[in-house]
Amino acid sequence: MWFGHGPAPGARLSEDAAMIDEGLRSELSKQGVFTTTLQELYNWGRRSSVWPLNFGLACCAIEMIAASMARFDIARFGAEVFRPSPRQADLMIVAGTVTKKMAPLVVRLFNQMPEPKYVIAMGACAISGGPFKQGYNVLKGIDRYLPVDISIPGCPPRPEALLHGIIALQKKIAGQKLTGDGRPRHLREEIGGEYPVPGYGAFDLEPPKNPEVWRARPLPREKEPTRS
């Protein structure tokens, strides 16, 4: 394997990746010689061994469990090692309704996971509150407190949809840079790996959202029909 030359490891990885001639790479691979960069190798290792945290919140968790069974076999994507401890997991699949009573515990579990770590919001409830959106006791999306990487719509999403979400996450990990301005969160010292745990207020969670993570999205509104 080729790990680049010249600058110290990690100094110019994006430039090194561009320096590998595709024709030469193809020619070498025919001879059984594989070329890569440290960045590609690092990302390949991480995306191929994502370990989810072993927890579920409601009906969507049944679909998540089904994805790990023989018919769908999440092991094909290297993500079958569901860990019972957040210290050993790097993927949180928020599968199900997040009640306001449960939200602080979900954030605390995420804080206990080591970096680099990722979040998949699985199902309408985890994304927005789903059918319980208007309920007084249901959080309107876990993205109010956690940095969601992938959202999977549906009520519930089928296991294939979760597999699709994991593939999308793998693509995201594969494209991450180890250096430069486009570095992911876990490689930027100014961004910590811990997120504020909300408390139980008199009427709502305090604070109701983490402004560092959540931004209100403008609602797409149809234009008023013009009268002639």
Among residues 106, 124, 146, 163, the one that binds ligand SF4 under rule CB under 6 A: 124
- When asked if residue 98 is in the footprint of ligand SF4 (CB under 6 A), the reply is no
**Measured from the CB of residue 155, what is the shortest distance to ligand SF4 in angstroms?**
3
- Among 107, 103, 130, 102, smallest CA distance to 117 is for 107
- Among 27, 18, 124, 90, smallest CA distance to 82 is for 90
- Among 99, 154, 89, 84, smallest CA distance to 121 is for 154
Q: Where are the alpha helices (DSSP H) in the chain?
A: 13-19, 22-30, 38-47, 60-67, 103-112, 124-128, 159-174
Q: Which is nearer to ligand SF4, 97 or 170 (CB)?
A: 97
Among residues 125, 150, 163, 178, the one that binds ligand SF4 under rule CB under 6 A: 125
Q: Which is nearer to ligand SF4, 138 or 205 (CB)?
A: 138
- When asked if residue 141 is in the footprint of ligand SF4 (CB under 6 A), the reply is no
**Measured from the CB of residue 93, what is the shortest distance to ligand SF4 in angstroms?**
12
As to burial, measured by CB atoms within 10 angstroms (0-12 exposed, 13-18 middle, 19+ buried), residue 197 is middle
Residue 119, strand partner residues: 92
- When asked if residue 139 is in the footprint of ligand SF4 (CB under 6 A), the reply is no
**Part in contact with ligand SF4 (CB under 6 A); list of ranges 16-24, 56-64, 72-80, 170-178:** 56-64
- When asked if residue 60 is in the footprint of ligand SF4 (CB under 6 A), the reply is yes
> And the tokens for 118?
């990722």
Among residues 4, 130, 141, 159, the one that binds ligand SF4 under rule CB under 6 A: 130
Q: Decide: 139 and 129 in contact? Cβ < 8 Å.
A: yes
Span 155-184, contacts to ligand SF4 by CB under 6 A? 155-156
Distance CA 151, CA 145 (A): 14
**Measured from the CB of residue 57, what is the shortest distance to ligand SF4 in angstroms?**
7
**Part in contact with ligand SF4 (CB under 6 A); list of ranges 20-28, 98-106, 123-131, 161-169:** 123-131
Residue type, 170: Q
* 3-state SS class at 100: coil
- When asked if residue 96 is in the footprint of ligand SF4 (CB under 6 A), the reply is yes
Distance CA 104, CA 87 (A): 17
**Measured from the CB of residue 174, what is the shortest distance to ligand SF4 in angstroms?**
28
- When asked if residue 58 is in the footprint of ligand SF4 (CB under 6 A), the reply is yes
List residues near ligand SF4 by CB under 6 A.
Answer: 58-60, 96-97, 123-125, 130-131, 155-156
